[in-house]
Amino acid sequence: MSTILADSFTSSLAKLSNDEQKQAKLTAFDLQANPDQPGLQFHRIDKSKDPNFWSVRVNRDLRIIVHKTGGSLMLAYVDHHDDAYKWAERRRIEAHPKTGAIQIVEVRELVEDIAAPPTGPAQATLPLEAPSPIQSPLLFANLSRDDLLSVGVPIDWLGDVTSATEDEFFALVGYLPQEAVEALFEYAATGVLKIAVAPATDPLAHPDTQRRFRILEGAEELQAALDAPFEKWAVFLHPLQRGVVERDYNGPARVAGSAGTGKTVVALHRVVRILKTRGDARVLLATFSDPLARALARKVAVLTADRPGFLERVTISSFEQTARELYALSTGREPHVADQATMRATVLKIAADQQESEFSPQFLVSEWEHVIDAWRIDSEEAYAVVPRMGRKNRLGARQREKLWGIFARVRESLARRGLLSPSGLFEAMTLTYATRAEKPYTHIVVDEAQDLGVAELRFLAAISPAQPDALFFAGDLGQRIFQQPFSWKGLGIDVRGRSSILKVNYRTSHQIRQAADRLLPSSVRDVDGLEDQRSGTVSVFEGPEPQIFSAESMEAEKVLVAAVLLELLGEGFTPSEIGIFVRSKEQLPRARAAAEAASLKTCTLVDGRTGGGDALLGIMHLAKGLEFRAVVLMACDEGVLPLESRVVDVADEFELDEIIATERQLFYVAATRARERLFVSCVKPGSEFLDDLRM
């Protein structure tokens, strides 16, 4: 008898205590191994509208709800006795009459009248007059019964959808299957009803079925799925994600999408697909930082837990660590890499020695970092033709000659001391592997690809083999917080025609996503003309509006944030579900004081590592890749966001525009770490970005 795992089972399992989870898992393993063994106590749920629902005893009070049909047994739900029975009595599992996808349908006649959800509390700085009651228009009145059925709306809920206003539709979201919610959201936004998936002959093979149910091949696969119930991406894939994962590409490919749309999910599953289909594959999964690499390693371990030998064929590392390891492998010694402070000090010292006064220190440092070192310029001739993309300071031949006199000495100084810049390290390995037929990896998958620099991209191209599907990138231009833009195509990496954009946000509530999206333009275009269209993204669940607090003083801000934290704890949020972030380390004491005022211990996030504590406290740059039920962004003051020291250091207008853009994107990254609740605080007048968040 085959075993099917429903996402409703993993969700309900995650809500149990640790001891209850262990007991439920043991019973689930017994059910899979031998569902007919006498020790398992099955009881049919007589009041259910679906005759195939049964309960299985776990202990005195805990029950697993299973769905038995023919030769299959589905793990559908687990909870305490009364709640488990109520869940089964209100639902049935069936193939949709139009699409053929298997759905868990809540029986409409057993649901109390649905009321529109209450709106979130008003923002503290925006008292509004109560609006006059206006009858909202019906969103889907122009859609026929067949239209609604074609996108997976269950028959029971056709009337509710047809008569729904905007507020009433949000109240319906929790009762409808995800594919219907996504299609109806898109119709409400664009007026176009898109039928994404055609009906399938085999209901279990339907892509919309596979986003909810998974047929398990063995006990190891069940254990891998149940050991990480919060990581639903490890088991269930959205059809659009699955299409990107399984597609065969004839060149470098990329997946894009705004925060929370599952780009990393796709990258991880792409790695596993390569390992499945290529027995000789050696895959590099790379990202921009060591902390993110460690997080990816944990997730890959979950995905490959039931597949012996897979993990040994994957290297998971940051860009720089990958280059360091290959350097040590090819030279027999560790590289000596200079940090940013050392390189800046060297530039300024040599400029001072040459009594340079025509160019400001800010310009000299910027020109070194963004032009000379980034592009690895090694001669005056190369400097004369390098693309100084977008930089407003136009340099004549005499000025370039004078500047090169400084930068050539900087290169000599670093070489004399046996130091490489990070870009120099990447260049060394690029030169080493560019002409080698034997490459260290067969495939390279890159997460957070928007933060690749020129030297990093050249390096990855050099260590990848000359085969069509060797390079796969996942990233979002709107989350670029480290690198200046440049042409990928100019470096030989052309992803045009092989670029996909994910549009379904399953991590962040509609309200938080909508507010955060206002921080960025509706579309972002890269240097090669490839456009990431950010409009049309939909979230699949509802939540309170973000709250913004403007305080008169730091002490008043501390009191406000402490009250917010106490409110969250009172609502049942655990400390580990709360993240508190600030722009830079100088503001960390303010956030720590607020947490302590709420009697909340914090563990400070430093370079991706934490000590002991409860709620996580860190700077916004380290929030990337994390998520929390609630996020508090503190000290979003004028002069802090954007950071005044970065603005003061600009070399030209282009760089100022870039700094403002990356500061906005940093704020966006931090705000979109929140799933359900977002709180932002400042001391008046506050950051200029808050006006966009408030709109």
678 and 561 in a single domain? The answer is: yes
Contact 499, 658 (CB under 8 A): no
Q: Which residues pair with 505 in a beta bridge?
A: 539
Model confidence pLDDT, tens digit, residues 147-189: 999 999 999 999 999 999 877 887 888 899 989 988 898 888 7
Q: pLDDT value at position 273?
A: 95
DSSP state of 336: -
Asked whether residue 472 is assigned to any structural domain, the reply reads: yes
Q: Where do runs of H (alpha helix) occur along 598-687?
A: 644-648, 653-671
513 and 562 in a single domain? The answer is: no
Q: How far is CA 695 from CA 126, 546, 692, in A?
A: 10, 11, 5
Residue appearing with tokens 């979201």: 173
Give dist(CA 1, CA 557) in Å, integer. Answer: 60
DSSP state of 453: -
Domain boundary among 424, 453, 477: 424
Residue appearing with tokens 């950010």: 534
Owning domain of residue 463: 248-292+308-332+433-523
Is pLDDT at 79 greater than 70 in this prediction? yes
Q: pLDDT value at position 658?
A: 78
Q: pLDDT value at position 298?
A: 86
Contact 219, 33 (CB under 8 A): yes
Instruction: Find the mean pLDDT for residues 561-571.
Output: 94
Instruction: Find the mean pLDDT for residues 464-491.
Output: 84
29 and 162 in a single domain? The answer is: no
458 and 312 in a single domain? The answer is: yes
Instruction: Find the mean pLDDT for residues 390-394.
Output: 55
- For the whole model, what pTM was predicted? 0.76
Short-list 99, 61, 73, CA closest to 9 = 73
352 and 369 in a single domain? The answer is: yes
Q: What are phi and psi of 692, to 5 degrees?
A: -70, -40
State the chain's mean pLDDT as an integer.
Answer: 86
564 and 656 in a single domain? The answer is: yes
* 147-149-152 Cα angle (round to 5): 120
449 and 557 in a single domain? The answer is: no
Q: pLDDT value at position 508?
A: 87
Lowest mean pLDDT among 369-378, 383-392, 508-517: 383-392
What is the number of domains present in the chain? 5
Q: Which residue type occupies 673?
A: R
608 and 639 in a single domain? The answer is: yes
CATH of the domain at 565: 3.40.50.300
570 and 670 in a single domain? The answer is: yes
**pLDDT higher for 33 or 654?**
33
Give dist(CA 608, CA 624) in Å, integer. Answer: 10
Give dist(CA 181, CA 184) in Å, integer. Answer: 5
Short-list 460, 525, 459, CA closest to 487 = 525
Confidence band of 608 (pLDDT split at 50, 70, 90): low
Give pairs for 482-485: CB < 8 Å, separation 24+: 482/288, 482/451, 482/453, 482/662, 483/450, 483/451, 483/452, 483/453, 484/370, 484/374, 484/389, 484/658, 485/389, 485/390, 485/526, 485/527
568 and 488 in a single domain? The answer is: no
Is pLDDT at 221 greater than 90 in this prediction? no
Q: pLDDT value at position 95?
A: 93
Asked whether residue 301 is assigned to any structural domain, the reply reads: no
Q: Tokens at residue 489, please?
A: 């195509």
| Residues 233-269 as b or e (16 or more Cβ within 10 Å = b) | bbbbbbbbbbebbeeebeebbbbbbbbbbbbbbbbbb
Q: Tokens at residue 301, please?
A: 């371990």
Q: Where do runs of H (alpha helix) occur along 417-530?
A: 422-434, 454-463, 510-517
Give dist(CA 240, CA 256) in Å, integer. Answer: 12
* 318-319-325 Cα angle (round to 5): 85
278 and 371 in a single domain? The answer is: no
Asked whether residue 298 is assigned to any structural domain, the reply reads: no
Give dist(CA 467, CA 455) in Å, integer. Answer: 21
150 and 283 in a single domain? The answer is: no
Q: What are phi and psi of 592, to 5 degrees?
A: -65, -40
Asked whether residue 209 is assigned to any structural domain, the reply reads: yes
Asked whether residue 197 is assigned to any structural domain, the reply reads: no
Give dist(CA 180, CA 151) in Å, integer. Answer: 5
Q: pLDDT value at position 606?
A: 66
For residue 170, how many C-alpha atoms fall within 13 Å in the half-sphere facing its CB? 15
Asked whether residue 440 is assigned to any structural domain, the reply reads: yes
Domain boundary among 507, 523, 539: 523
Model confidence pLDDT, tens digit, residues 648-695: 766 666 667 778 888 999 999 999 999 999 999 999 999 999 998 886
Confidence band of 125 (pLDDT split at 50, 70, 90): very low
Domain boundary among 491, 523, 555: 523
All residues at 6 or more sequence positions from 405 whose CB lies less than 8 Å from its CB, including other chains: 354
Asked whether residue 542 is assigned to any structural domain, the reply reads: no
Contact 681, 557 (CB under 8 A): yes
CATH of the domain at 80: 3.30.2310.20
Lowest mean pLDDT among 67-76, 199-208, 605-614: 605-614
Lowest mean pLDDT among 367-371, 506-510, 527-531: 527-531
Q: What are phi and psi of 173, to 5 degrees?
A: -55, -40
Asked whether residue 61 is assigned to any structural domain, the reply reads: yes
* 370-397-528 Cα angle (round to 5): 40
Q: Which residues pair with 126 in a beta bridge?
A: none
**Pairing between β-strand 213-216 and β-strand 471-474 as defined by DSSP bridges:** unpaired
